[in-house]
Each structure stands twice: as structure tokens, then as C-alpha cells.
Structure 1
Amino acid sequence: MKRAEHNVYFATGCNLKALSCYFLRGHTTIREIIARTSVVIWKVLQPTYLPNPTKETWVQSARRYWELWNLPNCVGSIDGKHIRIKRPPKSGSEFINYKGYFSIVLMAVSNADGCSLTSDVGEYGRNSDGRALKESNFGMKLVNSTLDLPDPSPLPGQDTNFPFYFAADEAFPLMCTIMKPYPKRGLTNRKRVFNGRLSRDRKSVECSFGMMSSKFRILHTTIGLNINTVDNIVKAVCLLHNFIKKEEGIFSRPRGKKGNDDDIEVENEEEPYPRLSNQRRATNPAIATREKLCDFFLTVDGSLKGQKRFCV
């Protein structure tokens, strides 16, 4: 039980006063143990269980996405999670998110098995996921093309090269390296298939957040420590999630290529409505890249049995 305060705090989210009574230690001592232990966990385990991704890491992640979810050239799923915190002194409205409480943003990239590949913590809660991505170290490397992503390679059964990319939801910008769903307005059946397939395949990051929150209940509570300590706690939780997943987790087995629909052709209807304004802000190469991936999902090599259930 010695020095177990941080374990109980991470796992249960118990407040510091209760921990002080339980372990018969001073309130300040408990807080100092948690703060220092979080830093040590990151320093010792980060090189092994959350190293900086390399080109080989991205290649392995893309191969796993194709094996499990039939999503080609996808190297990870991006999403943000709001971590509830106590209002920092003199912070104004910087940390108030759209849900009305104070928070910081955890911006994470997960692989097909739900393990974190990168994690950036500390962005203001008032910022959207797209803004948090832009301000994060990962986002800046993505924009500056310094992530060491693999060179473009052809999709299965195709001849032309296609870039490696991350799957994301509507809150993120459309880029050649970030694929997001089509806007809901003006959807055609082929676009509904694309949205359904992308949403199905990017759930790994949502599952990652769910597994973290279920194991570490601290993420369900309001963390009443200073911002630097909260950042270190969240980083330690992401690291411990990878540690548990890799050492004791159960990994899904590839289920092979799914059967195709008998009639995989989907009518390419004309759009009844114009695209939304945020769609027009995307670059032409990014739009063309998404169109190409959308078309791939309707080919023999890229289609899945039952994907037409997304059509109307």
C-alpha cells in the first residue's frame, strides 16, 4: 500500500481530502505525491509505450486498419476529449467549453486497436477540435509535413498512388492527410456509404477514450489541481492505458475480406443542394482525394457486404 495514493487517485477519482484520511497523510503530501509520480510515469514509460511515431509505426498502423476495418492507407484516427477541471485562477472564459464547464482538451491519435499513437494535452477548452489540432504539436507537424508519414501508395486493386491519411469527424478540417465525412446537407447514396464506412472505421479512437475512462475514473471527475499537474496526469493516464493494453489486452483478429454486395454499384445522383460553406474552404486536392476514396468504397476491392444499408 505504500505510495499507492496515485493509483487510487487515477483509478477512482477520489478527492484529495478522502485520500488524506484513508492513507493518514497530509493533504499537501498527497498532492505532491500525485504530481511527482505523474511526471515519473511519463519519464520512465514513454520511450517504450508511447514513443514518437516513426514511418514504420505509421506503416504498421495502416496495415492493421486494412486488416481489421478494410480502410486502406489509414494510419490513425484523430479526436479530442474534454477533461473537466476546476476553474483556474484569473482564467476568464478561456477554459469554458461549449458544454458549459471548464476543461482542457486531450487531442489523441489512436491506431486500429485503440492504443494511443500520440497525445497532446493542455489546449483551452473553449477551442474546437479543429483549433486544438492546429495548436497542438501533432497538428503543426502534420501541416508542416514533418510527421514522417509513408510515401503515397496505391489503394488495393488500384494503379495510382494515394496518400496516407488520418480519419476524423466533422469538427476537423478536410486535408489530403485528413479524411472527414461529407456534410449532411446534399448527401447522395455514394456519399452516405462513404460517411458510414468512415464513421465505422474511426470508432477506434472513441473506444480508446472509453477504455481510458472506464479504467481511470479520474477522467469522469473534476480535477482540482493546477493546470501543469492536470496535464501530467492526463499524459500519464494515456501512457498507462497503452501499458495495460499492450501487456494484458486482447487484440482482435483480422476477419478477412468481407463479402461484396451483389450489386455494389450505387447511383451517382446529382446533388440536390450546394455544398456547405466549410466544404468550399477545403482545397481542391483534398476534395479530389476524398472523392477518390469514396469511389474506392464502391469497387470490388473496397466494398463491404451490407454497406448499402447506409443508402436511402
Structure 2
Amino acid sequence: MKAISYRRYGGPEVLEYGDRPTPKVGPDKVLVKVRAAAVNPVDWKCQAGYLDTILDAFFPVVPGWDVSGVVVQPGVSVPEFGVGDEVMGYVREDVLCHGTFAEYVAAPVRTLARKPRTLGFAEAAALPLAGLTAYQALHRALRVRNGETVLVHAAAGGVGSFAVQIARHLGARVLGAVRESGADRVRELGGEPVLYGDGFARRVRDLAPHGVDAVLDTVGGEPLMTSPEVLTPEGRLASVADGEVVGLGGLYFWVRPDADDLTALADLAEGGVLTVRVARTYPLEEAARAQRAAMAGGLGGKVVVTVGED
């Protein structure tokens, strides 16, 4: 099969397009013919070696954790899917080796759900990692409830835009922290934009005089550090981006593959609750260009690598 891989840590320049063995299908796995794979910040962080202390890399590594495609072979202990089923997945395993930037991926069944019928393959590939991060952070880490007020940092970004939509669906009032360029996007999603910059905490307090009930940080750094100032005394704080949150009394949260949660996201997408914005697509052989575009940012949507048919 054709795939993107890297033989050493580095930037987009280490990505190579060429032939790799088609992965074997274990008993609990599903061989998926890849139609699209989204680019995520974790891809280039893994590729640069930043996660080497927690994830072993077996070179050459095929990058990518997000995928959508069609089942071509279910494992012998997988009754959940059959040949021809359209699926999407957050295919993260405990090592770096067989990723989704390839014509085929052998995905553990726990990482997959049926693709929403209302989404194309590119849109479906853009949903799993970012969508699950938002969904699990709001449900498990922050336990957001109806009637609460939630502040989402970088609310127009990949995780943030899903968090605004999911929190609104849970019945929360959502304040979306953004630069000016993202304000309209937050309004489209049902949130109330709050602009970063001098006086940010005051602007939040103007909208929520008693403080917000929960803050979801998706970027870390200064936005995270201002978060305790805007919480109620019993408010909850979680970050999916910066471990310094623990020192602020909050929770550092990592997303994990979960078929039930992914199915819930698919249902939200089919029900019109979630919208997915794809900014650019690139063919598999141009994955390095796709990664550079995603790293540059400012696109207002996800970057997706497509494989085979449109």
C-alpha cells in the first residue's frame, strides 16, 4: 500500500511517500480502506519526538490518528462491523507505528464508530480527535450541567469550536474566548465571544458578574493562567493543553479512544447539533504540505489528507 512515513524525528521535511506493508488484521481490529485522515497538532508533536517519554516509536512510523473510511476486513472477534461499513475513528494506540496516513489502517474496534450519514469522508475524519477531546472534557472532567456558564478558551479552534456546540447542547451558557477574527464563528456556534487582550478577565466578569462555573482551556499559557480569576468559588477548571493547570487547582485531561463516546458524537452530527468545518484538503502524497498548512494556523477549519476517491 502507499503511505506517508518518517524514519527519524523531525518536521514536515522528514515525511516520505512510498510503499509500506499493508497492516495485519488482529482479532480485535478492523482493516479500513482510508478515505480521509485529519491533521492534528499531536501529529507533528509526536513526529518531533515531544512524546518520546510516553510513546515508543517503531520506525518507520506512519503518522495520523484521525480517520474515516470503509471496512474491508473485520477481525475474527469483531461482530460490530461488516465489509462495506463506513466508519470513522480516533485510532490511537500505545505505540507509534501504524497510523492513518495510508491507504489502509488496522484499527482496534474500540477506536471506531459508524460514520455520520450527514458528513462526507473529509468532514468525518475531522471529527474524532478534536470532537472526543471536547466531549470527554465537558462530560468527564468538568461535568457541565444545564443552566451553568462555561468559558471555552480558543473557542473558534478545532477543539474549542466543538466544545462550544456540545456545551450549548448540554444547556450551558457559553462564553467563547477568541481573537477578533474568531468572534463571528463563536456567534455562529451559539456562544458569546469574549476578546483576548488587556482587560480580558474584566470582560468575562462583565458578562458573568458572579463568575463562570467551568473553564475549558485548549491552548495553555497565559489564557490558562487568567482562568482562576473568572471562576466562581466552586468553579471547575480543566486543560487539555497544559499540565500547569494542576498547580492552579484544575485537572489536566487527555482524550482517549472510546467507541461509545464516538458514537454519541456521530449522533450529534446526524442530529444537526454538531457542524464540522474543513478548511483545506490535500492528497496523501502532499501530506507534508498539509502539515505545514495546519502548523501555520489561521485557516478557520481542519486540514484533511484525502486518499483515493473524493
Q: TM-score, normalised by structure 1?
A: 0.25
For the pair shown, which has the larger CA radius of gyration, 1 or 2?
1
Structure number with the higher strand fraction is 2
Structure with more of its chain in helix, by fraction: 1
What TM-score do the two structures reach when normalised by structure 2?
Answer: 0.25
